[in-house]
Amino acid sequence: MSDQNDKLSPDSNYVDMPAGDPSLPEGWLEVISMDMEAKGVARKPDGKVVFIDGALPTELVTANVHRKKNNWEAASLLEVKRESSQRVQPGCHHFGLHEGACGGCKMQHMHVSAQVAIKQRVLEDNLWHLGKVKPETMMRPIEGPTWGYRFRARLAVRYVIKKGKVLVGFHERKSRYIADMETCKVLPPHVDAMLLPMRELIASMDARETCPQIEVACGDHVTALVLRHLEPLSDADKQRLRDFGKQYDVQWWLQPKGPDTVHLMDAPTAQLSYSLPDFGITMPFKPTDFTQVNPHINRVLVSKALRLLDARKDERVIDWFCGLGNFTLPIATMAREVLGIEGSDALVQRSHENYAANNAQRVEGDKLAPTTFVGRNLFNMTPELLMADGNADKWLVDPPREGAFALSKALADIHQIRIGAKQTGVATEEQPDLLPPLPEGHENWQFPKRIVYVSCNPATLARDAGLLVHQAGYRCVAAGVVNMFPHTAHVESMAVFERAE
H-run or E-run covering 239: helix 235-248
Q: Is 11 marked as a binding-site residue?
A: no
Separation of alpha carbons 135 and 128, rounded Å: 9
456 is catalytic: yes
Start and end residues for every CATH 3.40.50.150 domain found in the chain = 293-424+432-499
Phi–psi pair at 7, nearest 5 degrees: -130, 135
pLDDT tens digit at each of 501 positions of the chain: 333 333 334 444 555 556 667 778 888 999 999 988 899 999 998 889 999 999 999 999 999 999 999 999 999 999 999 999 999 999 999 999 999 999 999 999 999 999 999 999 999 999 999 999 999 999 999 999 999 999 999 999 999 998 889 999 999 998 999 999 999 999 999 999 999 999 999 999 999 999 999 999 999 999 999 999 999 999 999 999 999 999 999 999 999 999 999 999 998 889 999 999 999 999 999 999 989 999 999 999 999 999 999 999 999 999 999 999 999 999 999 999 999 999 999 899 999 999 999 999 999 999 999 999 999 999 999 999 999 999 999 999 999 999 999 999 999 999 998 888 554 444 445 444 556 677 776 778 999 999 999 999 999 999 999 999 999 999 999 999 999 999 999 999 999 999 997
Q: Is 255 marked as a binding-site residue?
A: no
Start and end residues for every CATH 2.40.50.140 domain found in the chain = 1-87
φ/ψ region of 223 (left if φ > 0, alpha if ψ in -120 to 50, else beta) reads beta
Longest dimension (CA), the chain: 75
- Residue 191 C-beta-side C-alpha neighbours within 13 Å: 27
Q: Is 184 marked as a binding-site residue?
A: yes
Among 218, 322, 456, 476, the one annotated catalytic: 456
Q: Is 92 marked as a binding-site residue?
A: yes
Closest CA to 461 of 472, 476, 448: 476
Start and end residues for every CATH 2.40.50.1070 domain found in the chain = 152-218+223-264
Q: Is 398 marked as a binding-site residue?
A: yes
Architecture of 152-218+223-264 per CATH?
Beta Barrel (2.40)
Correct CATH for 293-424+432-499 of 3.40.50.150, 3.30.2090.10, 3.10.290.10, 3.30.1050.10: 3.40.50.150
Buried b (16+ CB within 10 A) or exposed e, 34-49: bbbebbbbbbbeeebb
Q: Is 431 marked as a binding-site residue?
A: no
Q: Is 266 marked as a binding-site residue?
A: no
Put simply, whether the predicted model's pTM sits higher than 0.85 gets the answer yes
For residue 264, the one-letter residue type is L
Describe the crossing of helices 235-248 and 195-204 by its angle, rounded to 10 degrees: 160
What is 1-87's CATH topology? OB fold (Dihydrolipoamide Acetyltransferase, E2P) (2.40.50)
